[in-house]
Structure 1
Amino acid sequence: MRPFTHAALTRPLLCALALACATATFADTATQAQHYELAAGPLGRNLSLIATQNGIPLAFDPALTQGLQSPALDGNYTPQQVLNLLIEGSGLKLIQKEDGSYTLEKSQNLTSLPAVKISASSINSPQTSLDYSRDELNAVQPRDVKELFKKDAAVAVGGSIPVNQKVYVRGVEETAMAVSIDGGRQNNKVFHHNATNLIDPSLLKAVRASAGVAAADDGPGAIGGSLVYETVDVEDLLSPQRNFGGFVDGRYSSNGDQLTTGASIYGRNSGFEALFYLNHTNGDDYEDGEGDTVRFTEPGLLSKLSKVAYEDEQVGRFELSMENVNDESQRPYRANFVGLTVGRPVPESRVYDLTRESLNFNYSRDTAQGLWNPSVTIASGETELETREVPLDDPTALIVYTGITESQSMTVKNTFYTRFGEIVAGVDHYDDSAIFRYEGDPDLEEQAENLGVFIQMRQTIGEQLNLSYGIRHDQQDFTGTDGSSHDDSGTSGNIAADYQINDYLTAKAAYAQVWGGVALAENFILNGGWSYDNIKAVEAENYSFALRTLVGGAFAEATLYQTDIENGRTPSYGGGPDLAANFKIDGYDIVVGFLGQRGEITMKYANIESEMDGIVASSYDGNYFTVPLGEIITISGTLNLSQVPVTLGMDAEFALENDAVEDSGAKQDSYTVVNAYVNYAATDNLNLRLSIDNLTDESYTDRASYGQEFTTVKTLLEPGRSIILSARLGF
């Protein structure tokens, strides 16, 4: 027998004392609501984080939470409410023991179902208009940015294929927003006939938009808000008990016999982790709703993502990511529409070879407490478009034009967690360029360099008011194609408030005044003969007001918003570099829905109007700022079957007729498009899905696509009905 020692007695006494203190501490705080802002992530990790931060004695078997994800949270809750929200829909329940500590058990009364939650995409946070988590992205399984945003009436995506798709958030084009991918600034405005940000959403972890009013730490140039994309990390793909894994994807679409294949492999060991991903799509031109082949629309997407990282609790996380997305194929001569019935004769098609690549380094150490939580991002990004065409007057010749945009950026900031709130302060810098190249001619280039300082405060006052406010100052040096230099500076400010009126009703308001400097012109219109004497910086004012309610499983929100842009740069090759216009984009959207134990249904309505210099803006003169949208309704819903791991889903878009643009020659026609799917989780590692896109075989042009209001433009019709089979096998 081992001899009895004082240590043998002391250890259990100390453990019991610690548990008693922790239980007492939690008892004091269990009924006190405080503000929580928690990203979606592994359930076990987030439960442990909340328990540690609040001194909650929580112990559970890690196998119970293996492979489960928890939702994002943003609001005022007691600690116990947070724990219950995190496990909602997981098939687990929170059990309090006699000693006051907590544990997790499998619920005997619930069938384990995929977590269903009210997320920020339905009920918005103070300064965010949409926020997609990894779970939500997995449910949608988007193939392109159009599918990514298809459930949001206030987010429109013009274009029928990735190479010509552009995103409009509450009527504002993405080029008028501060866009980042994995923290790296995006400068991808090459040619108005193709996409601005070529993105493969297959491995996105999160998407967040702050429409209109963006925080100071979202970056410079947030004229119409910010748009943030994040790609997955290894921990998003591996359960806590595993250190290695991967998957293979396959997707077949009957419309155009299009096949997508993808594969990823990832692992971690002793703090190190690595991820590699490859995705490719090929096939034929698709058919529209009338059964006609839409020429030059064959898929040509190839994307690659690599990540390596090291993380240590004391030191922080170091991450290096490399991404390359390419789309190369024969496209309509002007890739965003079929052709013109007037004007100079041009070839029917030409090759568009569009590539976006980036190299990002991120370091962060966020302890969620204290005054030292640094973050550093160093990013290099480039988008290159090469067009190749055979001129009509010389079939033996080949004309090649090349546009290259580059951005080198860096952000250094620190988060201070104080008793007054959370303060983020830092500096950022970018060096952007736009180059046009044609063999035999000198390169044409515009360049802009910017240094900014910023501070953003986020705080909770009492139990009902959440505030976010900040300021930034930017100094820009702009250089034109003639070598002339133009220095300017300006200050931007923002404030957003979220006030909980009672248990059911919350009011929100936000305002921002933004100085954006001089935006670079698109590469394909640069002119060496331009004079920049009257070039001016762009400025904007944004505001929004909202009311939201949540009663049981029912929720609703109404938002009114407006963006006023002054000196929005609208250069043209022959008109000069300093042409400018004022834009007014205003509207409102309404969200209503119901969340049940096994699913949810949501309806969203948006009514958006756009003006340029006091006249209704068209898709031509609104380039890089806005597009006519009018009224759009979306309906989406999911149902989880109780006895089998099957989810049924649908979404529909109703675009109402828009005659506001009729002065341009034609109105925008109404249309209805319906999509449906059934998803079957055959095993833990095998997921199967059958989808039918455009169920009614509607023949239509997307509301945000170019040229519908012009009688001289033949628009690109969207794909007709398509039956899609997809599978993912994990290992």
Structure 2
Amino acid sequence: MKQRLIFVLANVSTLALASALSAQDLATAPETDSVVLAPITLVADGRENVEATGGITVTPEDIEVLQPVDVSELFARDSAITVSGGAGPSKRIHVFGMEQSNLAVSVDGVPQGVTSWHHTGSNVIDPAFLKSVEVEVGAAAADSGFGAAAGAVRYETVGAQDMLADGQTQGGRVGLSYGTNGRGVAGSLAGYGIHAGFDWFVMLHAADGDNYENGDGREMPGTAPATQGALTKLGYEFEGHRVELAYEYSKDDDDRVIKMNMDLDHADEVFPLKVTRNTLSLKYSSTAPTDAWDPEALVYVTRNEYWRPNYATGARPVNGDMDLEVKTIGGEMKNTYTTGPGTITAGIDWAYDDYRVDNYGDRAPRIHTLETMQIGAFVQGRFEFDNGIDVSTGLRLDHQRFTDWNGERFSDTGASVNGTVSYEFSEGYEVFAGASQTWLGYQVGEFGLLHARDESFATDPGYDPAEASNIKLGLNANQGNWTGNLTFFDTRLKGLGEYDTEIGYLTNADDYRSKGFTLQGNYSWGSGRLGTSFTKADVTQNGEDVLPNGGTVVPVGNIATLYVDQEIPQYNLKVGGTIEWAGKLDGDYLTEAGFDDHESYTVVNLYGEWRPQNYENVVLHLGVDNLLDETYYERSSYVQYDARSVYPLYAPGRTVTLGLTMDF
């Protein structure tokens, strides 16, 4: 089946690429009187329309409205994404129940590492620095990056060009907010400008607060906000070229419970924990591209660290001290060719990852080190034809080497193929179908689990590279002031890394699968908009329903969101709100394994934004999250597990935040 899918997709890709190149000559022929339908939604501006195939786009306008303090609030309007609860570093996103390590996650094009330990996120994304987010689900493009098993997440940060008003050459922004229920004080300061081909941007952000309480008034220990971050960018444009040097730093440093994404034994004891992320990147692009030459190049160095040196082992030595560190150096070079019906992007990317686990002597050996090296070549074509058919298709070829903590080396090469085709059968209405077969290489998995392993733990000699397959099909509608999308998806993950402590191996896990559908709709009336989404995902492993244990894949069931935004121009006012709903998850498979049911919940969030008439550079923002003070836990969090006394880590109760932003 897998070989047949690769063969079919490869033939579709080759045919589409060849057809597009041959069509380039036709594109220069004299115009005829043929009727061309209005542009369809699948491919736009040389890339896929993410929302057109069931994905999610968080625009700059959305971020301005939401004023998110963490990724839970960032994705509050998207039913396809769930976020685990607790403190900022514990938050991991799951798309259709698939954890973020199964997606190609990048920030400004720089790939982000896998999850180090399933009790914490793989990276700390501070929404204060974000410009926009795209979540491409299912069959991701070949140029989305290596390891796009279930899609891709692309975070983009702000820069000087985004902040400067027309005619402005320099400026700044200051932001300050205060929130109840432990949210505390948060502040940011940014300066930016352009001069003689140079542009610069510097932004600092920090937050400090207390533990929050859930809807029942119970304090959740170790949940106080404690983020600090900095983002700097320096760009220079000259004679059709642009180079940009960027540095991003984030830190969360506070006392946390030993496992941040669960409430273990209702214990209130906390321990020092610091999670840091450093990224340095240098990017080149052309500001005067031609049809044959539109290059981009990127090199980067990153360092992520999880530092917990003062945990008293006590009765749970397996939870002991640890220092997890990942250093990565990598790069990408690509060029986009414009043909008659579209574009073809081709290039190479590579990355070297060095992992280090220090357990401070709680186990022998004290230090585990491992490394991976990947290099890949890719080509992706995106074409719009006059007959109403659009095609996006591509191929990747990757080679990877994995050296484990015992010096055992594994290496292999694999191919990945993707294709998505749409047909606009009536103006503003299209059907689409997409599929991909993706080679993922050797999965490192949650390498932080090595902190509790002794010298007998090894990699399975028969350890195989992981793979993923995706199928999606659906319908899009676009009728001016309203749009809609229905996407059916089926994602399978085969051979992911699993640290099996019973057999003492890093080995291949049983196959995971997530299938279901997502429905999106939006309506705009000029001064306002209404949007809704509904997702149903059935998540299984080896054919059995997945248990809610906070791992690589989690059950999500039925989730829906509804939001509304309304401008009131005569008062320079904007108001709106979001409703988040999750259906009940129950069944014998839960109770027989010692888990409680997931109760249904409904959460209401409201906001208001006001710009004083004589001070257009000042914005006051009032937000009320969880208006009804609901006691709930998000779908990717744990539920009770009798054998270990694990209880849900509840989300915050009612929280009111007042913020002030001023541009100058």
> TM-score under structure 1 normalisation?
0.80
Q: Which amino acid aligns with 2:531?
A: T
CA contact (8 A) 2:221 2:268 kept: no
Q: SS in structure 2 opposite 1:578?
A: strand
Q: CA deviation at 1:120?
A: 6.0
Q: After superposition, what is the alpha-carbon deviation per residue over 1:248-284, rounded to whole angstroms, capped at 9, x for unaligned?
A: 1111111125110111111110110111111111111
Q: Does 1:364 align with 2:291?
A: no
Asked whether the 8 Å contact 2:40–2:424 carries over to 1, the reply is no
More off after superposition, 245-254 vs 527-536: 527-536
Q: What residue is the counterpart of 1:7 in the other structure?
A: none
Matches within 5 A, 1:74-93: 75=44
Q: How does 1:455-494 map to 2 (within 5 A)?
A: 455-494=379-418
User: Which residue of the partner structure matches residue 515 of structure 2?
Assistant: 586
Q: Counterpart of 1:204?
A: 130
Alpha-carbon distance, 1:32 to partner? 6.0
Which of 526, 529, 542 matches 2:456? 529
**1:518 and 2:442 are equivalent in the alignment:** yes
Q: Report the counterpart of residue 673 of structure 1 in structure 2.
A: 603
Alpha-carbon contact 1:610-1:628 (below 8 Å) kept: yes
Q: CA deviation at 1:142?
A: 1.3
- Structure 1's 170 and 369: CA in aligned 2 closer, same or farther, altered over 3 A? farther
1:722 aligned residue (649, 655, 658) = 655
Cα offset, 1:302, TM superposition: 0.6
The match for 2:17 is none
In the alignment, what sits opposite 2:230?
304
Q: What residue is the counterpart of 2:15 in the other structure?
A: none
Q: Give 1:137's aligned residue.
A: 63
Q: CA deviation at 1:175?
A: 0.4
**Structure 1 stretch displaced more, 668-677 or 404-413:** 404-413
Cα deviations by residue, 1:342-393 (Å, 9 ceiling, x for unpaired): xxxx983222211111111111115464111111011111210011334265
| Paired amino acid for 1:264 | A
Change in CA separation of 1:171 and 1:241 when aligned onto 2, cut-off 3 Å: same
What pairs up with 1:166-245 in 2 under 5 angstroms? Answer: 166-245=92-171
Q: In the superposition, relative to structure 1, how do residues 697 and 347 fare at CA in structure 2: closer, same or farther (>3 Å)?
A: closer
What SS does the aligned partner of 1:698 have?
coil
Q: Which of 527, 530, 541 does residue 598 from structure 1 map onto?
A: 527
The Cα of 1:421 is off from its aligned counterpart by 2.4
Q: Which range moved further: 568-577 or 276-285?
A: 568-577
Residues of 1 paired with 2:390 and 2:533: CA distance?
Answer: 25
AA partner of residue 177 (structure 1): L
Conserved? CA contact 2:38–2:427, under 8 Å = no
Q: Secondary structure at the match of 2:564?
A: strand
**2:534 is aligned with 1:609:** no
Q: Which residue of 2 aligns with 1:623?
A: 551
- Kept after mapping to 1: 8 A contact 2:276/2:304: yes
User: Which residue, out of 324, 327, 336, partners 2:249?
Assistant: 324
Q: Give the deviation of 1:400 after TM superposition.
A: 3.8
SS class of match (1:577): strand
2:431 matched to 1:503? no
The reply on whether 1:651 has 2:578 as its aligned counterpart is: yes
| 1:539-578 superposed Cα distances (whole Å, 9 cap, x missing partner) | 0110111112233533322110010111122113453111
Following the alignment from structure 1 to structure 2, what is the Cα–Cα distance between the partners of residues 392 and 432? 30
Task: Report the residue type matching 2:520 in the other structure.
Answer: V
Matches of 2:331 and 2:545, distance apart in 1: 38
Name 1:377's counterpart in structure 2: 298
Judging changes above 3 Å, is the alpha-carbon distance between structure 1 residues 646 and 584 closer, same or farther for their aligned structure 2 residues? same
Alignment-mate amino acid for residue 558 of structure 2: E
Cα RMSD, aligned residues only = 2.6
> Is the 1:289–1:720 Cα contact (8 Å) retained in structure 2?
yes
Q: Which residue, out of 362, 369, 387, partners 1:445?
A: 369
Q: Quick one: distance in 2 between partners of 1:143 and 1:120?
A: 27
**Is there any run of 5+ residues in structure 1 with no aligned partner, and where?**
1-26, 38-72, 78-118
Q: CA deviation at 1:710?
A: 5.8
Supply the distance in 2 between the matched residues of 1:529 and 1:181 (Cα, whole angstroms): 37
Match of residue 693, structure 1, among 601, 625, 628: 625
- Per mean C-alpha deviation after superposition, the further-off stretch among 423-432 and 500-509 is 500-509
Higher deviation after alignment, 463-472 or 145-154: 463-472
Counterparts in 2 of 1:486 and 1:494: CA distance versus 1, 3 Å: same
Q: Which amino acid aligns with 2:563?
A: S
Question: For the residues of structure 2 that align with 1:656 and 1:133, how far apart are their CA atoms?
Answer: 27
Aligned equivalents of 1:443, 1:432: Cα separation in 2? 17
2:37 and 2:427 in contact (8 A); partners too: no
Distance 2:609 2:49 in 1: 24
Q: Which has the higher contact order (CA 8 A, sep 6+)?
A: 2
CA 412–687 in structure 1, closer or farther in 2 if over 3 Å, else same: same
Give the 3 Å change call, closer, same or farther, for CA 370–691 of structure 1 in structure 2.
Answer: same
The alignment partner of 1:474 has SS state of strand
SS of 2:496's equivalent in the other structure is strand
Query: 1:132 & 1:291 partners in 2: Cα distance?
Result: 32
* Equivalent in the alignment of 1:96: none
Alpha-carbon distance in 1 for matches of 2:509, 2:149: 15
Q: Which residue does the alignment assign to 1:637?
A: 564
Q: Is the aligned partner of 1:702 residue 2:634?
A: yes
Matched, 1:419 2:340: yes
Letter in 2 for 1:541: S
Query: What secondary structure, in the 3-state scheme, does the structure 1 residue paired with 2:162 have?
Result: helix
CA distances 1:44-93 after superposition (whole Å, capped 9, x unpaired): xxxxxxxxxxxxxxxxxxxxxxxxxxxxx96599xxxxxxxxxxxxxxxx
1:105 is matched with which residue?
none
Conserved in 1, the CA contact under 8 Å of 2:472 and 2:488? yes
Cα distance in structure 1, aligned partners of 2:491 and 2:449: 27
Once the 2 structures are TM-superposed, how far is the Cα of residue 537 of structure 1 from its aligned partner?
0.6
Counterpart of 2:479, as a letter, is: V
Contact 1:446-1:521 within 8 A present in 2 as well = no
2-side partners of 1:340 and 1:399: how far apart?
Answer: 17
Report the CA distance between 1:495 and its aligned residue. 0.5
Q: Verify the 8 A CA contact 1:699 1:718 in the aligned structure 2.
A: yes
Q: What is the rounded CA distance, in whole Å, between the counterparts of 1:467 and 1:709 in structure 2?
A: 47
The alpha-carbon deviation at position 190 of structure 1 amounts to 1.6
Verify the 8 A CA contact 2:597 2:639 in the aligned structure 1. Answer: no
SS of 1:152's equivalent?
Answer: coil
CA distance in 2 between counterparts of 1:293 and 1:630 reads 28
Query: Compared with structure 1, are the counterparts of its residues 215 and 579 closer, same or farther at alpha carbon in structure 2 (3 Å cutoff)?
Result: closer
| In 2: Cα distance, 1:262 partner to 1:282 partner | 12
Which of 466, 470, 486 is the matching residue for 1:538?
A: 466
Distance 1:603 1:536 in 2: 41
Offset, 1:619: 3.0
Query: Equivalents in 2 of 1:433, 1:178: separation in Å?
Result: 18
Larger mean CA deviation between 510-519 and 203-212 belongs to 203-212
CA contact (8 A) 1:307 1:322 kept: yes
CA distance in 2, matches of 1:455, 1:418: 14
Aligned-partner SS, 1:389: coil
Aligned partner letter, 2:181 = N
Aligned length: 618
**Deviations, residues 299-323 of structure 1 (Å, cap 9, x unaligned):** 11111111111123x4322111111
1:435 is aligned to 2:356? yes
- 2:171–2:192 contact (8 Å) kept in structure 1: yes
Q: Do the aligned partners of residues 324 and 675 (structure 1) sit closer, same or farther apart at CA in structure 2, a change above 3 Å counting?
A: same
TM-superposition CA deviations, 1:431-475 (whole Å, max 9, x none): 112210134554201211011011001111115122110000011
Residue identity matched to 1:322:
Y
Q: For 2:282 and 2:223, locate their aligned partners in 1 and report how far apart those are by CA, in whole Å.
A: 35
**Identity across the alignment (%):** 27
Residue 455 to residue 75, structure 1, CA distance change in 2 (3 Å)? closer
Conserved in 2, the CA contact under 8 Å of 1:434 and 1:522? no
